[in-house]
Every structure is written in C-alpha cells, then in structure tokens.
Amino acid sequence: MTVPDPPIVDISTLTLTDVAVKLSTDPGSYTRRDLYEERQTPEAGIGAFAITNIPSGTRIFCEESVVMLPDEADQVEVYNAVKSLGEEKQGMYWALAASTKASRDIGWIDRLRNASHEDISSTFNDLVSSHEHAWSIYETNRFTCKSLDGSSRSLGIFPESARLNHSCSPNVFHRYNPVINRLTVHALRDIEKGEELLTSYIDICHPTVVRRQILKHWGFRCRCSACDNPDDDEDYRRKQIEDLFTKISKRESKRVKNESKWTDKEYKGSLGVVAKCIKLLEKEGMEETDTLGVLYTEGVRLAVKIGEEEKAVEWAEKAVEIEKKCLGEDSREFVAAKELLEMARGVQSAKAERS
Ligand SMILES: C[S@@+](CC[C@H](N)C(=O)[O-])C[C@H]1O[C@@H](n2cnc3c(N)ncnc32)[C@H](O)[C@@H]1O
C-alpha cells in the first residue's frame, strides 16, 4: 500500500521563530569547570580533562564567540576584529594555539599596505607578523557556524572550547547552535574521570589516509586509537560508510528530480541502503547527529512512505535520543526530530484505526 506523502519536517525550513517558541529558557553562557580542567599534554599542547565522571549527553560547554566572521574574511579583517576586542577577550585570543603555516596567498599584504594612509614602513614587518599570528590562531581554532537555514557559513572563535584536542574516535561532540547563538559541546558517551575530552575536527567517516591528509591543516599527526592502529577492517568499514552516504545522497537527488515517477520498489531500494548504513554505524559506535542522526531521519521518511510504520517509529525515537545527546533540547535538530516522531506515531495510529 502506498500512503500519501507525510508532512515531513525539513529542518532547513524550520524558522528561528518555530524553534524559539518551543524554547522556554535562555541557556546562558557557561563552561562546566566543575567537570573538567585544562592542562598540558605531552604532545598536543593544552587539553581538557574530565575531573569527575561525566554522563553521556551532558552539556559541558555552552559558549559565545569572541570573534565571528564570514567564511571569506581575510587576514586584515581577522586582525582588525581581534584588535577591536576588549583587553580581556584579546588576551584570551592571543593565548590560543597557533599551529597552521602562513598562507601562500599574499594578496592581503598589498591590501594592508594600501589601506594604511600613514608612513608605516618602519613597522610594516611587525604589522605583517602580527597579522600572520592572528591568522594562524584563527585557522587553528575556528569553528564552523552555520546560519539557521544553513544558507550561510561563518567562522567563530570560542576560546574555552578551542582547548579541545582532536580524536577520530571522539568522546564529545561540538556544534554551533544558531538558535541560541552558542557553541555547545556534549558528552557523546559516559566519560570517566581522568579521560581527555576529545572532539573531532573532521568528518570521521573517512578512512585513515584521508583523515591524515585533512588533519595536516592543523599541523599534527593524529595518535587516536583509530589512527595509531589502522586496522584494515575498521578502515574498510569507514570507507563502506562513506560510500553508502554517497549512494544515499545520489539516490535522493535522483528521487527529487523524478518524484512523480519514483516507485515503491525504488523507495524500498533506498530504504535498504539506509538500513545497511545504519547497521554499520551502530556497529562502529558512530552515534552522532551527522551520521546516525541524519540516517535515522532519512530512514523514517522512507519507512513511512512504504508503510513500515513500526520501523519508522523505532528510528524516530532513536533520532530524538541522538539529537538530544549531541545537540540538546534547544537545537532545531531536536525539535525537528520530535516532530518527526509525532508524525510517525500519527501515521502508525491512523493505520491501526483503519485496519
Ligand atoms: C584547537 S587547538 C586545541 C588546543 C591546543 N592543544 C592548545 O594548546 O590550545 C588545535 C591544535 O592542538 C593540537 N592538537 C589537537 N589535537 C591533537 C592531537 N590529537 N594530537 C596532537 N596535537 C593535537 C594541534 O597543534 C592543533 O593544531
């Protein structure tokens, strides 16, 4: 039986007001220094370490940016933004790590020279060095900040969260939340006292060789368990996951173009690919919003479409759990997942009443 298209909640169409009216409290801005401390690590500069057991889903950071600039900002704009900060925030900025190499693009140096109306020749070298230092800090510590509708991207510096080192098997999850204009960091699993809090700077679905290549940007070689013991099986599974994501997105683009001609068989085919990928992700313990969260949501849509309401409700419940754990109840993803669950339950009860 083919049911009519359900009222799918597309999170990109949820407006700020839609989400804001569902929020009752302002989360404030905080870092849970009762849960972690910063200290020097042997090889990775400063890191953040749990000083007590931290349960899965705990929000550890909820931080405002000190600098947030459009994606395309250059060295001059970054430097000017930093110099316009108050003394305390500037101090926090300059204290951050600077690991990236100088950019090969030197066009900004001409722009800097042209922008100055004074004779600065004697201090020009120092000025260029300061710009390069500000840029390297920016490049080392920036977090991506997407607008609510996902149409624009900025880069932000959040000086407390910037102390989080990287792992390809992370135990915390970071994401800029445009609803509350904060970067949030949540525990992805139960974290034991003494463990370092590690987030992933990159898409963890890539195999080791690709992850290493991307991580060169930050000037280090990752020593996490996935990179140090690159087990062929694990790498193969990550590659499989990456390929399945590509397949799912290709099928989805094809469906959008041929919506009216898309048959039940094709919906079932897509559901099969999604279910396979979900199984692999569950096995790998990749339980983030960008991996399992996205797939559960896609799976619910397909399962409802071909009349597998029980599966749809099961996955929608899991999607709600994942969004709550990774992003919290004040995220649009959580709100959308709850609405998806209500929709799936609604379709299920309507079917039960009919039969
Ligand atoms: C955002 S900062 C993280 C905090 C930094 N350790 C500090 O001292 O402020 C990123 C930099 O930390 C270091 N880093 C992060 N994760 C690392 C890792 N897994 N192994 C070695 N160095 C790492 C690299 O120098 C990287 O460019």
Are 53 and 122 contained in the same domain? Answer: yes
- How much is the average pLDDT of 32-52? 97
Mutate to test the pocket of ligand 1, among 166, 216, 217, 227 (most ligand atoms within 8 A of CB): 166
* pLDDT at 120 (0 to 100): 63
Question: 185 and 298: one domain?
Answer: no
Residue 121: pLDDT band by 50, 70, 90 thresholds? low
Q: Using most ligand atoms within 8 A of CB, pick from 196, 218, 225 the residue to mutate for ligand 1.
A: 218
User: Final residue of a domain: which of 228, 258, 277?
Assistant: 228
% residues pLDDT > 70 (the chain): 91
Q: 83 and 90 in contact (C-beta within 8 Å)? A: yes
- Residue 95: the pLDDT is 98
Q: What is the pLDDT of residue 122?
A: 67
Residue 327 in any domain: the answer is yes
Query: Can you give the pTM of this predicted structure?
Result: 0.90
Verify that 303 and 321 share a domain, yes or no. Answer: yes
Domain match, 95 and 209 both: yes
- Tell whether 172 and 51 lie within a shared domain: yes
Q: Indicate the number of domains in the chain.
A: 2
How far, in Å, CA of 344 to CA of 304, rounded? 7
Helix (H) or strand (E) holding 267, with range, is: helix 264-284
Asked whether residue 95 is assigned to any structural domain, the reply reads yes
pLDDT tens per residue, range 144-173? 999 988 889 999 999 999 999 999 999 999
Residues 74 and 17 in one domain: no
Measured CA to CA, the distance from residue 24 to residue 1 in angstroms comes to: 41
pLDDT attached to residue 5: 41
Task: Indicate whether residue 94 lines ligand 1 (CB < 6 A).
Answer: no
Alpha carbon distance 158, 241 (integer Å)? 31
Final residue of a domain: which of 228, 259, 294? 228
| pLDDT > 70? residue 247 | yes
Domain span at 300: 11-24+231-354
AA letter at 193: K
- Is the CB of residue 43 below 6 angstroms from any atom belonging to ligand 1? yes
Res 9 pLDDT > 60: no
Residue 12 has pLDDT above 80, yes or no: no
Neighbours of 235 (CB within 10 A): 17
CATH at 245: 1.25.40.10
Q: Is 297 in the pocket of ligand 1 (CB under 6 A)?
A: no
Instruction: Label residue 2 by pLDDT band (50, 70, 90).
Output: very low
State the CATH number of the domain containing residue 113.
2.170.270.10
Q: pLDDT band at 229, cuts 50/70/90?
A: confident
Asked if 169 and 205 touch (Cβ cutoff 8 Å), the reply is no
Tens digit of each residue's pLDDT (9 = 90 or more) over 323-336: 999 999 999 999 99
Note the pLDDT of residue 206.
86
192 C-alpha to center of ligand 1: Å? 21
Whose CA is closest to atom 25 on ligand 1?
99
What pLDDT does 8 receive? 40
For the Cβ of 162 lying below 6 angstroms from any atom of ligand 1, the answer is: yes
Confidence (pLDDT) at 27 = 80
Mean pLDDT throughout 230-244? Answer: 84
